[in-house]
Amino acid sequence: MAQKRDTRDNPFSGRDYNSPSNMTRIGNSLRFTAIANDPDDNADGVPTQDWKSIHVIFYGDPVTSVNMVARFRPWRWYAKQVDGHAGVSGVEVGWWIPDFQVTVAVDPATVTAAITSHLAWPTRDAEKMYFQFIGVFDATTGLAAVMPLYVSAQIFGDAHQDDPVCTSVSSIAGGGGAIPAPIPAQMPFMAATPATHWSPADGAVVFNNAVSLNALAGWPFVVDDTNCAILGLIVRKATNAVVEYVNGHNGITLTATAGVVTIAGAGAAPFANTDLDWYLYVVYQEKAYTEATDSLRTEEIAPLNHEHTQPAYAINNQAVVAASVPPGINVPSDNGIVMDGYKDIAWELYLLGGQTNGHANCTVTVKFQGSNDVEVPVGTRQWVDLAVGYDLGTDLTAASWLSVGLTALVAQIDFDNWEHKRIRANYSFDVAPGADHPGVVSINYRLKAL
């Protein structure tokens, strides 16, 4: 077709106004020769801060885009958002926010009452906007097509910030999406009802035939309409183009029977054995829901009140004949027991003072000490004698326990809600027992979290 001469000559004399396209065009067209990635920073897109709405025209190479439609996803850039791409709490950085994707005609022959080459968007106060190219598709079959020489999106200013405006987007052919990972929240139509399970995270989906897929392996339930609902399906074609099928939208129906998912309304052969990925999104009943109380039941996998240790000996010396006069001996060690992760400790004592070889009574005394790692001077840990151990046998607190001669002492002692770091036992004999009647010091302990 012959190009018309661009002129401002008026046949009725005088001069026309500047061409509106020259006055309102925002930057050069976004020209794509391959599927586009998500926008990354404010270097992408075109500035829209001066406009309340924009008008975008879409077109492709006329020779290589015959019978094709293209899919685009609009993005808006907001320069001052908390967290944003940085992910650091309290830091304001820029953030690209996606919108619903649309289907547009790049071949004039594919224009219909619902699919056009002209669309308008409100800028919603965004500093910049970007139109991400998702892929091209055959207008008749809906299948991914071979990439034409180029596809372009040209943005024009439509209304200034102080102009009243009402804009809308019209396109019945939804679908498509360049997804970095199968995350339901990124899918525009499916986001309204979040999936509870999806492949490949919760189960495998493999090719069965041109209109069905097998969802048999790995799923924690049988994928069947009787116990779950199919939200949608995303197919990554061999060309890396991505097609989104949403159950109940645009004439698409997805049904499941005994692990076989079947599609209707998507053409004769929406699936191929050469497809790279199938992302199936499923809603399954939340088994934790209790209808009678309108509540969700929860379970602690490792409840704290089950976190305890089995009794362990701090010392089990049943024939004490050596002298251990004050300051005595610390058990299980000079460093004590570190109470990190535990609140309660329970002790059991068996003490026998014994006698010397001359049959004089010996006395053994046990006390408990605590420390929170105060060091004075540096390198010397300070310990405090504890006077509040609770004796379960006498129902009293005490500072020490002792056995004189051949009269044994058996006691159980609790320290509940221990807040400090360390605790230890300390024992001493006033004189050393003899070999004929040795002393006994047997102390064990048990820890629990609550």
Q: How many CA atoms lie within 13 A of 68 on its CB side?
A: 23
Given a contact cutoff of 8 angstroms between Cβ atoms, the answer to whether 387 and 276 are in contact is: no
Under DSSP, the state recorded for 41 is S
- Which pair of structure tokens corresponds to residue 389? 């151990």
* C-alpha 268, offset from chain centre: 38
Under DSSP, the state recorded for 17 is P
- Which pair of structure tokens corresponds to residue 403? 């056995």
Minimal CA–CA distance to 370: which of 379, 387, 383, 388?
383
Q: What is Dmax (Cα atoms) for the chain?
A: 140
Please check whether the domain covering 305-448 is classified as CATH 1.10.3470.
no
User: Could you give the 3-state DSSP secondary structure of residue 43?
Assistant: coil
* C-alpha 448, offset from chain centre: 32
pLDDT at residue 410, rounded to an integer: 97
pLDDT at residue 15, rounded to an integer: 41
pLDDT at residue 289, rounded to an integer: 72
Matching fold, domains 20-160 and 305-448: yes
Give the integer Cα–Cα distance in Å for 37 and 393. 74
Give the integer Cα–Cα distance in Å for 411 and 125. 75
Give the integer Cα–Cα distance in Å for 420 and 254. 61
- DSSP for 285-296 reads --TTEETTTTEE
Average pLDDT for consecutive 10-residue bins of the chain (450 residues)?
A: 44 42 74 90 86 91 93 90 58 82 92 88 89 92 90 86 53 40 44 76 93 93 91 87 83 92 92 92 80 78 71 93 88 94 93 94 96 95 95 95 96 93 96 94 89
Give the integer Cα–Cα distance in Å for 409 and 361. 14
CB atoms within 10 A of CB 367: 19
Give the residue extent of every domain in the chain: 20-160, 184-284, 305-448
Given a contact cutoff of 8 angstroms between Cβ atoms, the answer to whether 112 and 11 are in contact is: no
Q: Exposed, middle or buried by CB within 10 Å (0-12, 13-18, 19+), for 205?
A: buried
Give the integer Cα–Cα distance in Å for 151 and 141. 20
Given a contact cutoff of 8 angstroms between Cβ atoms, the answer to whether 391 and 341 are in contact is: no
Fold of the domain spanning 20-160:
Jelly Rolls (2.60.120)
Query: DSSP strand E in 37-179: where?
Result: 46-47, 51-60, 68-83, 88-98, 102-105, 118-122, 128-138, 151-160
Distances (CA, A) of 334 to 325, 331, 365, 427: 16, 7, 17, 12
Q: Are strands 344-352 and 242-246 parallel, antiparallel or unpaired?
A: unpaired
Q: Taking the chain, what is the end-to-end CA distance rounded to the nearest angstrom? A: 85
Given a contact cutoff of 8 angstroms between Cβ atoms, the answer to whether 184 and 198 are in contact is: yes
- Which pair of structure tokens corresponds to residue 76? 């808006």
Q: Are strands 295-296 and 396-398 parallel, antiparallel or unpaired?
A: unpaired
Given a contact cutoff of 8 angstroms between Cβ atoms, the answer to whether 42 and 77 are in contact is: yes
- Which pair of structure tokens corresponds to residue 347? 């002790």
